[in-house]
Amino acid sequence: MDCGGVFVKYVLFIFNILFVICGILLITFGSIMVSTIKDFSGVGETFTANSVAIIILVLGCVVFLVAFMGCCGAIRENACALTSYSVVMLVLLVSQLALIIYVWVDHVQIQQSLEKIVQTIWDQRKTDALLMDTLQRSFKCCGLNGFSDYGITYPASCCDSPSNGTCGLAQVMSRSSCLRAVDSFWDTNVSIIKYAGLGVTAVELVAFIFACCLANQTRNSQRRQNY
């Protein structure tokens, strides 16, 4: 293999090491989102919000496995593995673009679904206080629109150190409303999904091109050896 082929081989190997790391980060990020939302699985609107987190988690697993296959194919110079890697990488690239476009276009709808979840949990607090308590502990918030929604008695989930099952005014004044906390959670995560996703997709495109070049060069080298 000439110098150009060796260069492509090791660049592709380094790219796939980065993809392995990206896959692990996506798995971690998706797991955090799923674990945060799963506590509210009894609410009907959870499906729309939870589907994005599950897709990210599955995508992370696929990226990890494909990147591992790419590392093996590049180092062993296996044309079959590299071709399979290129095809799967193309499908993965298109899938990621579709996810990014979906989040970019429908991020307001997903945010509204999250807000409906919060509203439903608030409306059901008298019959199912556990969900509201879980929400307030998870997001460090108090009340639907603020701690004043509770009047003068604040539940223990509104602060870190309750006394006699309730929180004092000084303890809850620093807590934002649960609607605002959930909106902030989504705004932070949607930016990560969009911009980090675009960066990963750009690197995947380069890896796809390099894998095609290396697979073609490997096949040509094998043909020359047969003559």
CB 66 within 8 A of CB 26: no
- Phi, psi (rounded to 5 degrees) for 121: -60, -40
pLDDT at 39: 55
CB 180 within 8 A of CB 141: yes
pLDDT at 3: 64
**CA–CA separation, 27 and 31 (whole Å):** 6
**CA–CA separation, 46 and 114 (whole Å):** 7
pTM of the entire predicted model? 0.62
Q: CA–CA distance from 139 to each of 82, 134, 154, 164 (Å)?
A: 45, 9, 16, 22
Per the structure block, which two tokens stand in for 214?
């290396």
Give me the residue label for tokens 């499906």. 47
**CA–CA separation, 219 and 39 (whole Å):** 52
pLDDT at 142: 93
Q: CA–CA distance from 63 to each of 34, 59, 93, 155, 165 (Å)?
A: 18, 6, 10, 43, 46
What stretches in the chain show pLDDT beneath 50?
A: 44, 47
